Amino acid sequence: MFEALTQKLSKIFNALGSKGRLSEKDIEEALRQIRLALLEADVNFKVVKSFLTDVKEQALSAHVLESLTPAQQIVKIVNEELIKILGKEHNPLGSASHPPTIVMLVGLQGSGKTTTAAKIALHLKNAGQRPLLVAADTRRPAAIDQLVTLGKQLDIPVYSADAKIGPVEISHRAIKQANEIAASWVIIDTQGRLHVDAEMMKELTRLKNNIKPFEVLLVVDAMTGQDAVNTAEEFNKAVGLTGLILTKMDGDARGGAALSIKSVTGVPVKFIGTGEKTSALEPFYPDRMASRILGMGDVLTLIEKAEDAFDKQQAKQLAKKMRKEELDLDDFLLQLRQIKKMGSVSQLLEMLPGFSKIAPNIPESGSEEQLKKIESIILSMTTEERRNPTIIGGSRRKRIARGSGTTSGDVNQLLNQFSQMKKLAKMAATGKLPKNMMGMFKG
């Protein structure tokens, strides 16, 4: 997400920082490079023009030019202006004063509406709500089957009926059932349609007028760039959107849609999809996204993911073991699996401040493969070996390597890393971390 843009902006700001005092010419050149970087990221031309006008006005002020740290002042200005074009503030789902709250999902065919409906339902369920999914895509039978399957996997009820009765009647019956089962949310998956098809857009308007949803959310593929922005404009004119969900933000998107869509349409982004898993949905925070784009990480989202993934009771037991230096490879495997639940390693690393500087040196999916290798090695050990790795000698190491499809060197490397991790874990638990933590992991 935004990798190329982040690296280009970081390079521009590093160059400014190396100059110390800045002249108007220095700032003009930096703004020219920022303009090119944003246009290459497929950001809407009008948005880029307005953004740079606002940045330039502040950057060329005496306050910045006479500052002892002008480059830092410019980064601060750019960050603030990015937050503005991304939407200024977080816009969560609104809820009706009398449940159930009705949410209608709309969008083009193939934008990911059905999967997104399930993601939203899971998000609400994890927040203690009682969602009901509604299969109202009457023209694509596979969509109904897909939603029913997802509902079973997530243990979330799904309302489906004979497609012949039409989406309006299906939705009315679903709302009635929601009242009967005390569901607090109704999430309606509608048929994908082209915004240029007038008749189909009229059908969508009729559905909206009949069921009167509290939220009308457009699900749009971020990888389509400015086409996503144009689609949002047309759907907003036709049905009046209350929010946007950008899917496939983990793909090869240049980021232009995310940076342009709120500014062009006036409709806030409420969620972003960051993967195929039903848990891969993040609430959209403009300030956090701006921070990621500028390579400053997103520690708050990382903490929230950790809180969701890690079992509190297990965390307490782990802390106790850390203090007593009783960690074993079973504990290590447990932590590894919980980290994997938080999302892909590349996405987690992206949330760390300064990651953009080292990202080019990390091979594509290398971290994912390394995690799989570690898991395979540990699973090839006996219970006794996992609990007491010190007993693993040459012959055991060879047997473990054969069983995991790795080498004795790989096994040895894992054992050394685990030994170092135990030392660091004990120091962390007792508040005695070394000043140079990275020095512990050299070699």
Model confidence at 198: pLDDT above 60: yes
Residue 153 has a pLDDT of 95
Q: Which residues contact 153 (CB under 8 A, 6 or more apart)?
A: 278
Letter string b/e over residues 266-277, b meaning 16 or more CB atoms within 10 A of that residue's CB: ebbbbbbbbbee
Q: Which residues contact 220 (CB under 8 A, 6 or more apart)?
A: 107, 108, 111, 228, 231, 232, 244, 245, 246, 247, 257, 261
Selected residue with higher pLDDT from 307 and 256 = 256
Nearest alpha-carbon partner for 113 in 271, 331, 349: 271
Mean pLDDT of the chain: 82
Domain boundaries, the chain: 3-86, 101-294, 302-441
- Mean pLDDT check: name the lowest of 121-135, 313-327, 387-401: 313-327
Selected residue with higher pLDDT from 171 and 66 = 171
Rounded Cα gap, residues 112 and 248, in angstroms = 9
* 418 and 329 Cβ atoms separated by less than 8 Å: yes
Model confidence at 46: pLDDT above 70: yes
The two domains 3-86 and 101-294 share their CATH topology (first three levels equal): no
Q: Which residues contact 78 (CB under 8 A, 6 or more apart)?
A: 9, 34, 55, 294
Residue 132 has a pLDDT of 97
Encode pLDDT of 141-182 as tens digits: 788 899 999 999 999 999 998 888 889 999 999 999 999 999
End-to-end CA, the chain: 30
Residue 429 has a pLDDT of 52
Count CB-CB contacts under 10 A for residue 124. Answer: 20
Beta bridge partners of 386: none
Rounded Cα gap, residues 120 and 285, in angstroms = 16
Dihedrals phi, psi of 102, to nearest 5 degrees = -100, 125
Selected residue with higher pLDDT from 339 and 210 = 210
Q: pLDDT class for 443, splitting at 50, 70, 90?
A: very low
Model confidence at 359: pLDDT above 60: no
Q: CA 233 → CA 92, 105, 283, distances in Å?
A: 21, 16, 22
Q: pLDDT class for 319, splitting at 50, 70, 90?
A: low
Selected residue with higher pLDDT from 18 and 297 = 18
Q: pLDDT class for 13, splitting at 50, 70, 90?
A: confident
Q: CA 147 → CA 119, 162, 270, 307, 418, distances in Å?
A: 11, 15, 22, 28, 43
Residue 440 has a pLDDT of 35
Nearest alpha-carbon partner for 136 in 154, 153, 119, 117: 117
Taking residues 365-386, report their average pLDDT. Answer: 82
Model confidence at 364: pLDDT above 60: no
Q: Which residues contact 236 (CB under 8 A, 6 or more apart)?
A: 218, 265, 266, 267
Residues 163-166: contacts with CB under 8 Å, at least 24 apart: 163/138, 163/139, 164/138, 166/138
The matching CATH number, chosen from 1.20.1250.20, 1.20.120.140, 1.10.510.10, 3.90.1300.10, for 3-86 is 1.20.120.140
Residue 312 has a pLDDT of 63
Rounded Cα gap, residues 254 and 224, in angstroms = 10
The matching CATH number, chosen from 3.40.50.450, 3.40.50.300, 3.90.650.10, 3.30.390.30, for 101-294 is 3.40.50.300
Model confidence at 307: pLDDT above 70: no
Residue 20 has a pLDDT of 74
Rounded Cα gap, residues 55 and 127, in angstroms = 39
Taking residues 306-313, report their average pLDDT. Answer: 62
Residue 162 has a pLDDT of 86
pTM value > 0.85? no
For 178, the token pair is 């929601």
* 342 and 371 Cβ atoms separated by less than 8 Å: no
Selected residue with higher pLDDT from 80 and 347 = 80
Count CB-CB contacts under 10 A for residue 317. Answer: 13
Count CB-CB contacts under 10 A for residue 328. Answer: 17
Residue 196 has a pLDDT of 61
Encode pLDDT of 213-228 as tens digits: 999 999 998 888 788 8
**Listing from the earlier edge strand, what are the strands of the sheet with 243-247?**
158-159, 131-135, 185-189, 101-106, 215-221, 243-247, 269-273, 281-283
Rounded Cα gap, residues 415 and 397, in angstroms = 10
Residue 174 has a pLDDT of 96
Q: pLDDT class for 49, splitting at 50, 70, 90?
A: very high
Residue 123 has a pLDDT of 94
Q: pLDDT class for 438, splitting at 50, 70, 90?
A: very low
Model confidence at 329: pLDDT above 70: yes
Encode pLDDT of 380-428 as tens digits: 999 999 989 989 999 999 999 999 999 999 999 888 878 876 766 666 5
Topology given in CATH for the domain delimited by 302-441: 434 Repressor (Amino-terminal Domain) (1.10.260)
Would you state the torsion angle of the CA atoms of residues 226, 262, 132, 277, taken in this order, to the nearest 10 degrees? 50
Please report which helix (H) or strand (E) contains residue 226, including its range. Answer: helix 226-239
